[in-house]
Amino acid sequence: MKSFLTLLLLLALTNTVLAQKQKIEVKDEAVLLDGAKYALIEQDGCRIMDTQCVYYLKSLDGKRQVAVKQLEFVDPAEMSASHPDGRVLYLQYVFLASGTKAETPFPTTLHLRAIDVARKVAKGQLFANGTLNEQAVSDFVTTNGMPFADRQKELAGPKVIVIEK
């Protein structure tokens, strides 16, 4: 009887998880969420050999709302035998109307793809009804913060101001 109840509970949990999972796709310049247009996406650079990579997320009316930049810095704490250069990759989200920013870890070990950005944006529910969801943006910024910029400031050390007579 216990094993039957355990199996029933497992099936219920599995169905709940599957029901919550959304299908995210990028076709042409559209981000699709469960087959419906969620937002538009435009890339600048972002090919395998490009050093600069920016994705612009746009509302369904074509207005740019968010710029997602691939950035990097060197952190000595990240250096190891398998990672001798200490290079840290991350994504910076710039909400264009307000200038507000947030950062997240880089999603892959290869190059940044539109689907990676689309997944992060959909998970954060940054768009609703084809426009930017301001409450979700506020939550995203508060939750993610600017940990990579803060680390870079920490590595740079305190600012020293020299005053001469």
| 151 backbone dihedrals φ, ψ, rounded to 5° | -65, -40
What sign has the CA pseudo-torsion 52, 44, 116, 64?
A: positive
> Residue 93 has which token pair?
């989200």
Mean pLDDT over the full length of the chain: 86
- With H, G, I as helix, E, B as strand and everything else as coil, classify residue 151: helix
Determine how many CB atoms are found less than 10 A away from the CB of residue 57: 26
- With H, G, I as helix, E, B as strand and everything else as coil, classify residue 139: helix
* β-strand partners of 103: 92
Mean pLDDT across the stretch 63-67?
98
Model pLDDT, residue 72:
92
pLDDT tens digits for range 91-140: 999 999 999 999 999 987 677 899 999 999 999 999 999 999 999 999 99
> What predicted TM-score, i.e. pTM, was given to this entire model?
0.80
Dihedral Cα 15, 16, 19, 20, nearest 10 deg: -150
What sign has the CA pseudo-torsion 76, 108, 44, 143?
A: negative
CA nearest to 87, candidates 51, 125, 33: 51
pLDDT tens digits for range 28-57: 999 999 999 999 999 998 887 777 899 999
Residue tagged 């920013």 (tokens): 101
pLDDT band at 13 (very low <50, low <70, confident <90, very high): very low
